[in-house]
Amino acid sequence: MPIPPEKLALFMFAFLPQSVDPARGSPAAQMLALGALFTLLALLSDGLYALLAGGVGSWPQRNPRFLRRQKYVTGSVYIGLGVASALAGPSQK
């Protein structure tokens, strides 16, 4: 689930200025450099995730053994979640 833009902006406005040291030069330039670095790292990591997901995502479609067992794995996960929910005690408020 993607992070809403307003939450990301709030995070950046709250924590990015704490990394700026006015004694080391222009705060605006430091904020711009840190923001650009954050954007670059996010682009690289998200791009890597997308490339990996694209490569791995086609594997189950080509693997007939996986396709035959997929319904059993999915059913087992749902049954396990149901049992865990049934055994969980009431929530304390």
pLDDT in tens, 9-51: 888 788 777 888 889 999 889 988 988 998 899 999 999 999 9
Q: Which residue has the higher pLDDT, 60 or 42?
A: 42
CA distance linking residue 59 with residue 57, whole number of Å: 6
Does residue 76 register a pLDDT over 70? yes
CA distance linking residue 93 with residue 25, whole number of Å: 50
pTM of the complete model: 0.53
> What band does 73 get if pLDDT is binned at 50, 70 and 90?
very high
Number of domains in the chain: 1
Residue 43 belongs to a domain: no
State which residues form the domain around 61. Answer: 48-77
Residue 10 belongs to a domain: no
Residue 23 belongs to a domain: no
Distance, C-alpha 10 to centroid of its chain:
18
